[in-house]
């Protein structure tokens, strides 16, 4: 499955024109093609990770063992994608010796692909945690909250892939605010799990699992924010720390 992606950054279009007018350099076209392929592979990896979150959430809701197996298989594919992207990016850097914005794009792919991979790992952990939940002592209210949280993270991930594909710095920055919602969810799940455990001993084993699962989703949100930070880097060359206390380093 391949996605046709056009990075519609104004600059790229100007450059395409510039190439014609100035009589572009063949080597340059090779580099552009290789970067374009990496964009596609990165986006595909992002969609695979999004699928993992979706599947892990279904496993959590329905305790579907066949689907649980699929999440694990999908994770191996995600790990391979990361290794592939690392290898290809290193190759392009070594052989084409890109600088400036080209180099920043490649660094972003290199760094953000490991962020995506970690999100995939947390989806796997959600599946493992689900297996430890005793189906006789489930708490519907908390589970509903966790499903909402997972859908929020899933949407954040799709949004960050979209921001990546369109090289949309503003959208990337706005996702940091979305991540704060996850902190709220995490607090709510913790409080409700504790209340449930205190009021009824049958929740003592399941309560901590809900808290762990909420932490996994919260970490996924953090990794989405990391990807956003790399999109900002691609655009500006600045390493930023997005979140409640934004900071910038040269």
Partner 1 sequence: MEEFITTKDIHLYYGEKEALKGINLSFPAKGINALIGPSGCGKSTYLRTLNRMNDLIPSVTMTGSIMINGQDIYSPKMDTVDLRKKVGMVFQQPNPFPFSIYENVTYGLRIAGIKDKQLLDERVEQSLKQAAVWDEVKDDLHKSALSLSGGQQQRVCIARVLAVQPDVILLDEPTSALDPVSSGLIEDMLLTIRDNYTIIIVTHNLQQASRISDRTAFFLNGELIEEGKTKSVFLNPKRQETDDYISGRFG
- List interacting residues with partner 1 (CB under 8 A): 11, 15, 18-19, 22, 24-25, 27-28, 31, 97-104, 236-237
For partner 1, the closer CB: 9 or 128: 9
For partner 1, the closer CB: 172 or 224: 172
For partner 1, the closer CB: 18 or 131: 18
- Nearest distance from C-beta of residue 99 to partner 1, angstroms: 5
- Nearest distance from C-beta of residue 42 to partner 1, angstroms: 20
For partner 1, the closer CB: 112 or 156: 112
- Nearest distance from C-beta of residue 234 to partner 1, angstroms: 11
- Nearest distance from C-beta of residue 233 to partner 1, angstroms: 10
- Nearest distance from C-beta of residue 21 to partner 1, angstroms: 9
For partner 1, the closer CB: 9 or 88: 9
Neighbours of 228 (CB within 10 A): 29
3-state SS of the chain is CCCCCCCCCHHHHHHHHHHHHHCCCHHHHHHHHHHHHHHHHHHHHHHHHHHHHHHHHHHHHHCCHHHHHHHHHHHHHHHHHHHHHHHHHHHHHHHHCCCHHHHHHHHHHHHHHHHHHHHHHHHHHHHHHHHCCCHHHCCHHHHHHHHHHHHHHHHHHHHHHHHHHCCCHHHHHHHHHHHHHHHHHHHHHHHHHHHHHHHCHHHCCHHHHHHHHHHHHHHHHHHHHHHHHHHHHHHHCCEEECCCCCEEEC
- Nearest distance from C-beta of residue 156 to partner 1, angstroms: 28
For partner 1, the closer CB: 72 or 103: 103
């Amino acid at each position: 499955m391949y996605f046709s992606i056009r990075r519609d950054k104004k600059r790229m279009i100007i450059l395409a024109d510039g190439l014609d007018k100035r009589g572009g350099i063949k080597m340059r076209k090779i580099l552009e093609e290789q970067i374009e392929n990496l964009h596609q592979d990165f986006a595909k990896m992002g969609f695979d990770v999004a699928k993992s979150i979706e599947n892990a959430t279904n496993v959590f809701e329905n305790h579907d063992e066949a689907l649980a197996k699929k999440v694990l298989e999908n994770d191996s594919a995600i790990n391979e994608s990361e290794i592939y992207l690392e290898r290809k990016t290193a190759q392009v850097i070594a052989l084409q010796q890109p600088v400036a914005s080209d180099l920043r794009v490649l660094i972003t792919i290199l760094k953000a692909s490991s962020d995506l991979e970690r999100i995939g790992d947390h989806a796997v952990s959600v599946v493992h945690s689900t297996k430890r939940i005793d189906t006789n002592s489930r708490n519907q209210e908390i589970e509903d909250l966790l499903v909402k949280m997972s859908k929020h993270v899933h949407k954040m991930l799709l949004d960050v892939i979209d921001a990546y594909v369109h090289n949309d710095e503003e959208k990337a920055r706005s996702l940091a605010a979305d991540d704060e919602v996850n902190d709220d969810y995490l607090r709510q799940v913790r409080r409700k799990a504790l209340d449930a455990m205190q009021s009824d001993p049958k929740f003592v084993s399941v309560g901590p699992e809900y808290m762990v699962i909420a932490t996994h989703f919260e970490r996924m949100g953090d990794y989405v924010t990391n990807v956003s930070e790399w999109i900002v880097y691609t655009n500006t060359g600045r390493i930023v720390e997005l979140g409640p206390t934004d900071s910038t380093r040269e």
